[in-house]
Amino acid sequence: FNTPEGLRALKFYTDLALTYGVSPNAVTYNEDDYRNMMAQNRVAMAVGGPWSFPLIETANPAIVDNYTVSLHPYGATPASVLGGWALVIPSASKNKENAWELAKFLTSFDTWMTWIEAKGGPMPSRQDVCFAAPVLQDQKWKVIFETFPHAVSRPPIPQYPQVSEQIQIMIQDVLLGKATPENAINTAEANVNAILGK
């Protein structure tokens, strides 16, 4: 991430608050705060994902047809976070066949359709559900579907929580004026390399 593109992205993101006054109190907010402020019509925009839609709309049903979504800005190649949960069957499991049947059931078309119709989110892990579920034909979901080809999974490494924390600290240090973007990204890179044993 310590590349010219990474530094440019860090500067863009932190300049929103530091130069342009967008969410000057961002360092004190968490995702729930933004979602609640969005539902209360206290902010013009918020960064979130498809899991946010039903939460915002449940908190404020009047907002349902009165907001939209857009892609994140990007300079070269767009990217989106591919998140969620993994279903794992331990190699030492005594019930591998049953676990496999459960995994197939939980990821089946019918199970996902039932979940989406009942909850309205999160984003299904199956594209066939995305394009078949009537509730997902809303325009805001179509924007989310545009991110599919650009979705990037978090690294599947045991140290990922510590790596993620260093990236968060890097951003926070710039926002709090503790470091320049250049110093923050260099420090984060050194810390991540230490975590990874490089």
Residue 95 maps to a domain? yes
In a domain, 130, yes or no: yes
Task: Report residue 55 as tokens.
Answer: 């939460």
E strand spans, 20-147: 80-82
Mean confidence (pLDDT) of the chain: 89
Which residues form the domain of 122?
84-150
- What are the beta bridge partners of residue 82? 153
H/E run at residue 80: strand 80-82
Residue 78, in any domain of the structure: no
Does 120 score more than 70 pLDDT? no
pLDDT in tens, 129-138: 888 888 778 8
The Cα 20–Cα 46 span in angstroms is: 16
- pLDDT band at residue 152 using 50, 70 and 90 as cut-offs: confident
Task: Kindly tell me if the per-residue pLDDT of 63 is higher than 70.
Answer: yes
pLDDT at 19 over 70: yes
In terms of average pLDDT, the best of 4-13, 93-102, 143-152 is 93-102
Mean pLDDT for 112-141 is: 81
Evaluate whether residue 62 is within a structural domain. Answer: no
Residue 187: strand, helix, or coil: helix
CA angle 76, 172, 4 (to 5 degrees): 30
Confidence of residue 192 (pLDDT cuts 50, 70, 90): very high
One-letter amino acid for residue 179 of the chain: A
Q: Are the C-beta atoms of 139 and 68 separated by less than 8 Å?
A: yes
Q: Examine residue 172 and state whether it is found in any structural domain, yes or no.
A: no
* Domain count of the fold of the chain: 1
For residue 173, tell me if it sits in a domain. Answer: no
Check if the beta carbon of residue 56 is closer than 8 Å to that of residue 35.
Answer: yes
Q: Please give the pLDDT value at position 150.
A: 87
- Tell me the HSE value of 164 on the side-chain side, using a 13 A CA sphere: 10
Residue 146 lies in a domain: yes
| pLDDT at 93 (0 to 100) | 96
> What confidence tier does 166 reach under pLDDT thresholds 50, 70, 90?
very high
Which of 52, 78, 140, 171 lies closest to 130, judged by CA?
A: 140
Q: Name residues whose C-beta falls within 8 Å of residue 111's C-beta, 6 or more positions apart in sequence.
A: 105
Percent of the chain with pLDDT over 90: 45
Decide: 107 and 125 in contact? Cβ < 8 Å: yes
pTM of the model: 0.77
Q: Tell me, what's the pLDDT at 121?
A: 64
Residue 180 lies in a domain: no
